[in-house]
Amino acid sequence: MAGAFSLGFGLLLLFSFVGKVHSCLDPASAYKLTGAVCRLTYPAAVVLNEKTTEVIKAAFQHAKYPSIEGERSIPFAGKLEYRLHNLEIHNLSIGKSEFELRENEGIGIDIGNVSAVFKGTLKYSYESALFRMGQSIDFEIESMIDLVINSKLYCGKGKVAADTSDCYLTFHKLQLLLQDDREPGWLKKLFTNVITFTMKLVVKGQICKEINKVANILADFIQDTAEQFLSDGDIFVDIGVTSAPVITSNYVESYHKGLVTYNGSTSIINASRFNPDQLTEDRSLYFWIGDDLMDPLMTAAYNDGRFICNISGEELIGLFLTELSAPRPELVSKWLSSEEPMLKAWSASVPRLWTTDQGTSVKAVAAVELLSGKQDSPALYFETEVEVCVRAYYADKKLILKGQAVQISISKVSTSSGDSEMENSLTIFLQEAVEKIGIPKVISYLEPELTALMDRQGLHLFDLINPEVIPRDGYVLIQMDFGFPQHLLVEFLKKTLD
C-alpha cells in the first residue's frame, strides 16, 4: 500500500537533502525518529552525473557578471583606466563531468574542459607624459576552464545544508581580444594582461556563487516536490530530515521524519524500526517507508472522508453478476430490480495498517447500505469487519494491488422489514459477497486513484526500471533502477532561473 517518492535533478542534488528540523542528531540517534529513508547508490549517482553539465551550464549562463573597472599605474609607461561592461557568455560547452563519493566528507565534482566566450564592451583611457588616448570598443574573452567543487555537509540553524564554497576554477586559457584584434600592439598587449588577471577573479567569484545558488534552488525544489508527493489536500507529510545525510563511497543516505499532519494534529514517531542493514546496495535507488508513516496517513485519509463509495446504475448491476456459491437472497434480487438502486459503503472505524513479510495488512469496519429511490429507509444495512493483506506492484507506470482476505465477519444486519430470521440467513451470502465482490471492487477503485495521484506528482515522467515493493516486518522497502528524462531538468532550470 506504500508508494514511492520521486527524486533527482543532477548530481549536485546528491548533497541537497535539505529540510527544516528542530534539531540535527547523529544518524544512530535519529533512527528511532525516522519515518522514511532514501538511499542513492553509486549507480544512481552515475545516472544523475549525466545531468550535472546542464546544472553547470545554467550556473554559467545565469551568473550576473558585474562591470569591471579599475586603474593601474604602469611603471615607466603611464596610467591605465578601464571599464568592462555588458558582459555576456556565448558558445558554452562542457567536455566531461566526474564525481567521487567521499566517505564522511561530501561529494567531489570535477568538471573538465569548460569552453566559453565572454563578450562585452571595454572603455579605456591611457595617459602618459607623451600622449593621452581613450576608446570604447567591443571585446571577446576566450576561455578554457576546469571546475572543481568539494562539497561539505553541515548541520546548523535548524537544517542540514551543503557548503559549496570550496570551489575552484583553473584557467587553461583566458585571452582578451579587442575587436578581433588577434595581433595587438605592445600597448594593447600590456593592458589586456592587466585586465585578464582581474577577469579571472570576477569569473571565479560569480560562477562559484551561482553554482551554490542553483544547488540551493534545486534542493528546495526537491524538498517541496517530495512533500507534495506524499501530501494531498488537507493531508500534509513533513519529510524534513532528522539528521545529516550519511555518505559512504557506495551510497548517499538521508533520514526523514515522515510526520503526518491533518486538521492541526500531527503524528509522532519515537520508536522507528529502521536500521541501515535493512537496505542493500544492489539497486540504484531505495526507499524505506515505515508503518509509523503509513498508518497515520491511513487515519488522516479516514478523517478526511476519503473512504466513501456510492455505486449505482449499470456498474451496480454488473457487480452482482459475479458468480457466488451462496444463493442470492430474494431481498437482494428485489432491491436490484427496484427503481434507482444504489449501494453506499463507508468506513465505520479508523482503519489500522501494519506490514509483515506477507504484505501490508489493513483492518477496518465497513458499513454498507442498499438503498432504493422509492424507499425512505435502506432495504438492507450491515457492517463487516474485514482484514485484507495487500501486495503492491508498479509496472507500465501503473500501481497494481493484489489483495487477499484474511478475516471477514458480518454484524448489525438489519432490513427494512425487520425480519430477524431473514437477517440471520443473510450472513453467509453477505460474507461471500464481501470477499468476492466488495474487496475486489475497492481495490479496482484504489488502483487508478492512487496511480492518478502519483501521476499528478510527476512519477510517470520518470523511467523506473524493474521497481520492487518488498514488505517487511514494520516497513516497506521500495527498490529500483531508474533513468532521468533530460527535458525535465532543462525545463525546470528555464522556469526557475529565467
Summarised one tens digit per residue, pLDDT across range 169-192 is 888 888 877 765 655 565 566 666
Please give the C-alpha separations between residue 379 and each of 98, 312, 374, 448, 497, in angstroms, as whole numbers. Answer: 70, 15, 11, 31, 62
Complete edge-to-edge strand list for the sheet that includes strand 251-256? 246-247, 251-256, 36-41, 285-290, 475-483, 463-472
Task: Give the phi and the psi of residue 263 in degrees, each rounded to 5.
Answer: 55, 40
Outline which parts of the chain fall under CATH 3.15.20.10.
232-486
Per-residue pLDDT of the chain (498 residues; tens, 9 = 90+): 333 222 222 333 333 333 343 456 777 888 999 999 989 898 888 877 777 777 777 777 777 777 777 777 766 556 777 788 888 888 888 888 888 888 888 888 888 888 988 888 878 777 766 667 777 888 888 889 998 888 776 655 545 566 778 888 888 888 877 765 655 565 566 666 767 777 788 888 888 887 777 766 666 666 666 666 667 788 998 888 888 888 899 998 888 888 999 999 999 999 999 999 999 999 988 999 999 999 999 999 999 999 999 999 999 999 999 999 999 999 999 999 998 999 999 999 999 999 999 999 999 999 999 999 877 789 999 999 999 999 999 888 888 999 999 999 999 999 887 777 777 779 999 999 999 999 999 999 989 988 887 777 677 777 788 999 999 999 999 999 877 666 666 666 666 555
Distance CA 244, CA 112 (A): 29
What CATH class has 232-486?
A: alpha beta
Please give the C-alpha separations between residue 368 and each of 88, 157, 429, in angstroms, as whole numbers. Answer: 69, 52, 14
Distance CA 36, CA 16 (A): 16
Distance CA 196, CA 343 (A): 80
Question: 197 and 161 in contact (C-beta within 8 Å)?
Answer: no
Which residue type is seen at 305?
G
Question: 318 and 352 in contact (C-beta within 8 Å)?
Answer: no
Is 274 strand, coil or helix? coil
Distance CA 230, CA 225 (A): 9
CATH no. for 42-227: 3.15.10.10
Over residues 246-304, the pLDDT tens digits come to 889 999 888 888 899 999 999 999 999 999 999 999 998 899 999 999 999 999 999 99
Outline which parts of the chain fall under CATH 3.15.10.10.
42-227
Give the residue carrying C-alpha cell 486538521.
263
Distance CA 151, CA 165 (A): 8
Kindly give, in sequence order, each residue whose CB lies less than 8 Å from that of residue 494, ignoring residues fewer than 6 positions away. none
Task: Give the phi and the psi of residue 337 in degrees, each rounded to 5.
Answer: -90, 0
**Helix segments in 17-85, DSSP class H:** 27-30, 42-49, 52-62
Question: 311 and 273 in contact (C-beta within 8 Å)?
Answer: no
* Inter-axis angle of helices 486-497 and 186-230, nearest 10: 110
- Using a CB cutoff of 8 Å and minimum separation of 24, what contacts does 335-341 make? 335/370, 335/372, 335/379, 335/380, 338/372, 338/373, 338/374, 338/375, 338/379, 339/372, 339/373, 339/374, 340/312, 340/372, 340/373, 340/374, 341/312, 341/316, 341/370, 341/371, 341/372, 341/373
Is 323 strand, coil or helix? coil
